[in-house]
Amino acid sequence: MEQPKIPQATAKRLPLYYRFIKNLSLSGKQRVSSAELSEAVKVDSATIRRDFSYFGALGKKGYGYNVNYLLSFFSQTLDQDDVIGVILIGVGNLGTAFLNYNFTKNNNTRIQMAFDVDTGKIGSTIADIPVYHLDELEERLTDDIKVAILTVPSHVAQSVTDRLAKTAIEGILNFTPARIDVPEHIRIHHIDLAVELQTLVYFLKHYPK
């Protein structure tokens, strides 16, 4: 099905909406108002109405949105039939936590394999995910694997990325504090947990509620 072009900021909120709508549907609810959604997902209701208008879900005043319509829209948009393969590089404390977590609530993303250079970890499996030596990266990758999660030490993040850039990988989720350069064809998202924590603490101090 042809999907409408959705602004990036809206697209980022879709998984959030989807999770909530799925739960509503499971609990047998038929409709939901933008106010209820707003309260549950902590996005203001004007934004929700604008977001939903992009995908043709027009809520009726006093009625709200049809839960089944939303559910089928989200599942078509987000649960694409083809599973997007994910790999993880760097099976340290954070990496191990991700392997155990493995995004089981998302149907179309799964970490399929992990890589490290520590011989003590290579050959093991964590939550059924095999850990291979980084030397085997290129030979293990298949075309359906598009995303790499980086949980290596910062000082090797760039060299690992340079290697990934020569494969079919299209997206990198970088959990290292390193600012990495990537070629044009790769999208990189940085998540620096230390910075996030510091920012929160700064806001608590300077903008107390």
**106 labelled ligand-binding:** no
Least Å distance, CB 123 to ligand ATP, is 13
CA distance 72 to 85: 23
Binding positions for ligand ATP, 82-121, rule CB under 6 A: 89-95, 115-118, 121
Q: Is 62 annotated as a binding residue?
A: no
Task: Report the site for ligand ATP in 148-187 (rule: CB under 6 A).
Answer: 151-153, 156, 160
Q: How many CA atoms lie within 13 A of 40 on its CB side?
A: 17
The answer on whether 92 is annotated among ligand-binding residues is yes
Whichever of 39 and 162 has its CB closer to ligand ATP, that residue is 162
Site membership for ligand ATP, residue 21 (CB under 6 A) = no
Question: What is the sign of the dihedral through the CA atoms of 122, 123, 124 and 129?
Answer: positive
> Of the candidates 89, 135, 70, which has an alpha carbon nearest to the alpha carbon of residue 98?
89
Q: If you compute the radius of gyration of the chain from its CA atoms, what whole number of angstroms results?
A: 20
Shortest reach from residue 186's CB to ligand ATP, in Å:
18
Spell out the residues 6+ positions from residue 82 whose beta carbon is closer than 8 angstroms to its own: 108, 144
Residue with tokens 């490290």: 116
| Minimum CB distance to ligand ATP, residue 89 (Å) | 5
Q: How far apart, in whole angstroms, are the C-alpha atoms of residue 34 and residue 39?
A: 9
The least CB distance from residue 193 to ligand ATP, in Å, is: 12
Annotated binding-site positions: 90-95
Give the footprint of ligand ATP on this chain (CB under 6 A).
89-95, 115-118, 121, 134, 151-153, 156, 160
Annotated binding-site positions for NAD(+): 90-95
